[in-house]
Amino acid sequence: MLPLAAQTQERVRARDLGVAPGIFAPGQNNAITDVDGVRVGQVTLTEGDRIRTGVTAILPHTGNAYRSRVPAALHVGNGYGKFAGGTQLNELGELETPILLTCTLCVWKAADAMAVWLLEQPGMEKVQSINPVVGETNDGDLNDIRARPVTAEAVRQALESARTGP
């Protein structure tokens, strides 16, 4: 939990401090959705004081990610992540599904839910293998992580609500 002083301070962006990542200027909204076709959907789950988590879906373009794969890679920042789909992602250098982000102990539930959702999509009737890509963050200080509250319906809502814009 952040100290109260940190919670009330104005957010400073890296560029405001002279850090300029990459070689391009930021887009209009300084958001991932500034990239043409990229859409983001998010579902927050709250229940009393116990549940504070959710799932975010990042769709790489407006088409079928499996049928129109995009170049991709993974960089591991530490060895503690419970990341699904990384081996194939690095081996083939391409992304064949949306990317999901969720709480640590919900990675596998989210991967399964996304596989079900993808297999239901038009043109996927003969597909026999899917590599769901799911990353995580440990929200155990905010959430009863052992409850594993992210559901297939929450994943579906995140995927289907994805949109462009800030």
Asked whether residue 63 is assigned to any structural domain, the reply reads yes
Whole-number CA gyration radius for the chain: 17
Asked whether residue 165 is assigned to any structural domain, the reply reads no
Asked whether residue 108 is assigned to any structural domain, the reply reads yes
Report the SS3 class of residue 20: coil
CB 164 within 8 Å of CB 28: no
The overall longest dimension of the chain from CA atoms, in Å, is 55
* pTM for the predicted model, two decimal places: 0.88
Per-residue model confidence as pLDDT tens for the chain (166 residues): 455 555 667 888 888 898 988 888 888 988 999 999 999 999 999 999 999 999 999 999 999 999 999 999 998 888 788 899 999 999 999 999 999 999 999 999 999 999 999 999 999 999 999 999 999 999 999 999 999 999 999 999 999 999 998 7
Asked whether residue 143 is assigned to any structural domain, the reply reads yes
Q: Compute the distance between CA of residue 65 and CA of residue 20 in angstroms, rounded to an integer.
A: 30
Asked whether residue 68 is assigned to any structural domain, the reply reads yes
Asked whether residue 139 is assigned to any structural domain, the reply reads yes
Q: Which residues contact 119 (CB under 8 A, 6 or more apart)?
A: 127, 130
Asked whether residue 20 is assigned to any structural domain, the reply reads no
CATH of the domain at 101: 3.60.70.12
Q: Compute the distance between CA of residue 54 and CA of residue 39 in angstroms, rounded to an integer.
A: 17
Q: Which residues contact 146 (CB under 8 A, 6 or more apart)?
A: 105
The number of folded domains in the chain is 1
Q: Which domain holds residue 119?
A: 38-160
Q: Give the C-alpha distances (Å, rounded to integers) separating 136 from 15, 53, 73, 142.
A: 26, 11, 16, 14
Asked whether residue 2 is assigned to any structural domain, the reply reads no
Backbone φ, ψ for residue 2 (5° rounding) = -75, 145
Paired with 40 in beta bridges are: 58, 163
CB 53 within 8 Å of CB 103: yes
Q: Compute the distance between CA of residue 72 and CA of residue 95 in angstroms, rounded to an integer.
A: 6
